[in-house]
Structure 1
C-alpha cells in the first residue's frame, strides 16, 4: 500500500513539472495568454470592464488552456477523466466568481486575496449543500497548487536579487531564519504536530500565502491544515496594514525604517504595498524591496524543507532506526520543487528581459488562477468542523505569538540597518 502511494506521488510531481513547462514553453513560443480584468468599483464598472464581451472572451480563452491541461494531466495520472471533464468547469465558474469578488475596490482595500474568496465559496457549498461524488473526484487540489508553484518560479528572477539591495537581503535572511525557528519552537511547545508547525513557521517568516502553499507542497501537507494557516495569514494581515503605520509614526520611525519594518513583518506582498502607501513613497519603496528579498528566499526555503522532510519523515517501514539513503531521498523528493527552481533559472539566465516583459502578465495570471482553483477545491472537500474544530486554537496562538516575535525582532533589525 505504501509503495503504491509513493509511485502515485512521484508520477504526479513529474506530471506537474511537464505540464507546467508545457505552459511556459507555449508562452515563450508566442502563445499570448490574456490577463482578464477583474477590477471594479461599482455595478456600472462591473459591466463595463469585467463582464464585457472582450473580457469574457479572454476568460474563456484562459479556461480552455487550464481545462485542457487539467484533462491531459488527469489522463496522464490514470485518474477519472470523465469526472474532470464534468467537474472542472464547475470549479472554474466558482473560481471566476471568487476572482470577481476579489476584484472589488472596497474588498481590495482590505487586501482580501482571491484565494480566501475561492476557499469561502467552496466551504459554503460543502457545508450547506451536498457535493456530488463525481464532483469530488474532479478535485485535484495538489495538481492545481503545484502547477501554480512551477509557474511561480518564472517570477523569481535571480538577477533581481541584486536590485533588492544588500540591506534588504541581510534583513530578509536574519528575519526568515530567526522567525522560522522561533515559530517552529513555539508550535512544538504548544503540542502542534510537525507538519502543521512547519507550514505555520514558513507562512509567518517568509511570505505568507505563497510560502504556506510551497511548504505544504514540499512536505505533501494536509490541504485542510494549509487552508487553516492561510485563513489566519489573511485575517491577521488586515489589522497590521492599518495599525502598523500609526505605531511607526508614534514611535518616531523614519520612512526607511518603517518601510523595512512593514516589509519584514506583513505576510503578503499586496498588504505590504497597501500599508507602505499609507506612510509615503520611500516607505513604499523600501517595504517592497524587503518583501521581495524575502520572496526570493522562497525557493531556497522550499528546497531545504523538502530535504529535511524527506530525510526525517520517510524512514523505511522495515528499518525504523536507519535514515533513508540518497537514492530514497531522491525517490521521495517532491519533484515540483525542481520544476520551480528550473523555471526560475530559465527566466533568470536564458530568457531576455524583453521576452519576460511580454509573457510575465499572462503567466502571473495563470499562476494566480491555479492557486484559486486549488482553494475552491479545498473548500468543496472540507467541512467547517474539519477546518477549525479539529485543530483547536493552538495553531492560532502559535501564529500570533510568532508574529509578535516577528514584529519585535524585525523592528530591531530594521532600525539598525536602515536608520
Structure 2
C-alpha cells in the first residue's frame, strides 16, 4: 500500500505564517511602520519618499515577500511565477497606500483597499494578463494572514473598557440587523454565500466583517469585491448627512454618537462624522464602533461553524448528519489561529511588549489586506461587478442598511437618552 504524502492545508499554512510573523516581532525583529500620510507634493517627497521611510517600506517588502515565498513552498505552488508576480502586486499596492494617505482623500474616508481594488481592476480590464500571472495571485492566503494578525488588536481587556452600554447596543444591533439582512437576502433568493457576506458587512463593521466572513466561508472574490464596493459607496453619504439629520431631530451628543457608531460601517467614517457633532459624540461613537468591531471574531467563529455544518450536510447527501470529524476537517482553521492570537495578546503577552509591537503588526495586517485587494482586482473583470444579476444584492443592502439606521436610532435613544 502506498503511503499518502503529508500535505498542509492552506488554512494551517496561514496559521503557521501568521504565528511566524508574530514570533519575529516578539523576538525583537520589529519591522518599522512606514508613513503614507501627506498633504502636498513637498511633504510627499520629503516625508513619504524620504530615505528612512523608503527603508521601512523595503523592510516590510522583505518580510511579506519571504512569507509569501514560504507559503508557496509549503503549498507546493509555482515559485518561479510568484517571484515575478508578488513584487508587481506589492508595487501596485504601495501606489494605493500612497494615494489613500493624501489628506484630501482621508477627508472622504476612502480606504486603501478601495484604491488597491480599483488599480487592479483598471489593469485587468485594460490589459490581458497571462494565465500564469493570474494563477500566481494568492488572494485567500493574503486575506487570511491579515485576519490572523487582526487577532492581535482584539484584546479582551479593552472590551470591558468599551463600556457596558456600548457593548449592549453593539450586541443588540449586530444580532437584529444581521438576522434581518440575512432574511431579506434569502427572501430575494440571493445565494447563501453573498447573503452571509452582505449581512455581516451591514451589521458588524463593514469591510473587515465582509473580509472575515468571506475567509470563513471561502467566499467568491467577485462577490466580496461587490459587497465592499457597496459598503464604501454608502458610507460617504451616511457620514456627511447623518450628523445634520441628528441635529434636525435635536438629538443629544450621546445619542447621536451611539447612532453614528452603530450605523456607519467604516471606522474612519464614524470618526469623521462624530467629529462633526462634537467631542462627546466622537467619544461615544468610537466606543460603540469599537464594541461592534470586537464582536467580529465571535461572529466569524459562529458563521464558520454554521457554514461548515450546512456545507457538510449538503455534501453528505443529506441522509445522515455529518460527524464532528467531518465538521472539524472542513472548519476554517485560520479562525482557530485568530482566536488563539487574541487570547495570547489578551492574557499572556505583557501590555508593555504589546505596545512596542502593535503598530508594526497592525501595519502589516493592513498591508496583507491591501495586497489581497490588489490581487482581487487583477483577477476580476470590472463588468462582473455591475452585471444585471447584481441588482438584488444591491436592493438587499439598501433595505438592510435602512433597517440598521432605524433600529440603531431606537436602541441609542433607549440606552443613551
Report TM bin, short chain. over 0.9
Question: Does the residue aligned with 2:386 lie in a helix, a strand or coil?
Answer: helix
CA displacement at 1:316 relative to structure 2? 6.3
Q: Which moved further from structure 2: 317-326 or 25-34?
A: 317-326
The CA deviation string for residues 114-139 of structure 1, in whole angstroms up to 9 with x for no partner, is 00000000000000111122321220
Question: Does the residue aligned with 1:360 lie in a helix, a strand or coil?
Answer: helix
Equivalent in the alignment of 1:120:
118
2:350 to 337, 349, 352: 352
Q: Which moved further from structure 2: 188-197 or 129-138?
A: 129-138
Equivalent in the alignment of 1:261:
259
Equivalent in the alignment of 2:143:
145
Equivalent in the alignment of 1:96:
94
Decide whether aligned partners of structure 1 residues 318 and 253 sit closer, same or farther in structure 2, where only a CA change above 3 A counts. closer
Is the 1:87–1:138 contact (alpha carbons within 8 Å) kept by the matching residues of 2? yes
The CA deviation string for residues 277-326 of structure 1, in whole angstroms up to 9 with x for no partner, is 11111001000000010011111100000000011122364533322111
Question: Does the residue aligned with 1:303 lie in a helix, a strand or coil?
Answer: helix
Question: Does the residue aligned with 2:396 lie in a helix, a strand or coil?
Answer: helix
Gaps of 5+ in 1: none
Q: TM-score, normalised by structure 2?
A: 0.97
The CA deviation string for residues 86-144 of structure 1, in whole angstroms up to 9 with x for no partner, is 11000000000000000011111100000000000000000011112232122000000
Q: Which residues in structure 2 correspond to 1:118-197 (within 5 Å)?
A: 118-197=116-195
Quick one: distance in 2 between partners of 1:380 and 1:366? Answer: 21
Question: Does the residue aligned with 1:314 lie in a helix, a strand or coil?
Answer: helix
Match status 1:320 vs 2:307: no
Match status 1:411 vs 2:409: yes
Is the 1:260–1:286 contact (alpha carbons within 8 Å) kept by the matching residues of 2? yes
Is the 1:218–1:337 contact (alpha carbons within 8 Å) kept by the matching residues of 2? yes
CA displacement at 1:370 relative to structure 2? 0.2
2:274 to 276, 279, 282: 276
Question: Does the residue aligned with 1:328 lie in a helix, a strand or coil?
Answer: helix
Equivalent in the alignment of 2:238:
240
Quick one: distance in 2 between partners of 1:160 and 1:334? Answer: 26
Equivalent in the alignment of 1:28:
26
Quick one: distance in 2 between partners of 1:322 and 1:53? Answer: 63
CA displacement at 1:48 relative to structure 2? 1.2
The CA deviation string for residues 314-359 of structure 1, in whole angstroms up to 9 with x for no partner, is 2364533322111100000000000000010000001111111111
Match status 1:370 vs 2:368: yes
Quick one: distance in 2 between partners of 1:42 and 1:239? Answer: 26
The CA deviation string for residues 375-402 of structure 1, in whole angstroms up to 9 with x for no partner, is 0000000001222216421111111110
CA displacement at 1:270 relative to structure 2? 1.0
Match status 1:386 vs 2:408: no
Quick one: distance in 2 between partners of 1:318 and 1:208? Answer: 33
Decide whether aligned partners of structure 1 residues 163 and 124 sit closer, same or farther in structure 2, where only a CA change above 3 A counts. same
Match status 1:83 vs 2:81: yes
Aligned residues: CA RMSD: 1.3
Quick one: distance in 1 between partners of 2:408 and 2:385? Answer: 31
Is the 1:84–1:137 contact (alpha carbons within 8 Å) kept by the matching residues of 2? no
Equivalent in the alignment of 1:16:
14
Decide whether aligned partners of structure 1 residues 36 and 413 sit closer, same or farther in structure 2, where only a CA change above 3 A counts. same
Quick one: distance in 2 between partners of 1:132 and 1:184? Answer: 38
Is the 1:312–1:323 contact (alpha carbons within 8 Å) kept by the matching residues of 2? no
Quick one: distance in 2 between partners of 1:268 and 1:322? Answer: 42
Decide whether aligned partners of structure 1 residues 186 and 55 sit closer, same or farther in structure 2, where only a CA change above 3 A counts. same
Quick one: distance in 2 between partners of 1:227 and 1:384? Answer: 10
1:395 to 393, 401, 409: 393
Quick one: distance in 1 between partners of 2:218 and 2:282? Answer: 35
Is the 1:91–1:376 contact (alpha carbons within 8 Å) kept by the matching residues of 2? yes
Quick one: distance in 2 between partners of 1:20 and 1:93? Answer: 22
CA displacement at 1:61 relative to structure 2? 0.6
Is the 2:316–2:322 contact (alpha carbons within 8 Å) kept by the matching residues of 1? no
CA displacement at 1:188 relative to structure 2? 1.0
Is the 1:311–1:323 contact (alpha carbons within 8 Å) kept by the matching residues of 2? no
Equivalent in the alignment of 1:216:
214
Is the 2:257–2:285 contact (alpha carbons within 8 Å) kept by the matching residues of 1? yes
Quick one: distance in 2 between partners of 1:323 and 1:205? Answer: 31
Quick one: distance in 2 between partners of 1:409 and 1:189? Answer: 20
Gaps of 5+ in 2: none
Q: Which runs of 4+ in 1 moved over 2 A?
A: 314-323
Decide whether aligned partners of structure 1 residues 15 and 390 sit closer, same or farther in structure 2, where only a CA change above 3 A counts. farther
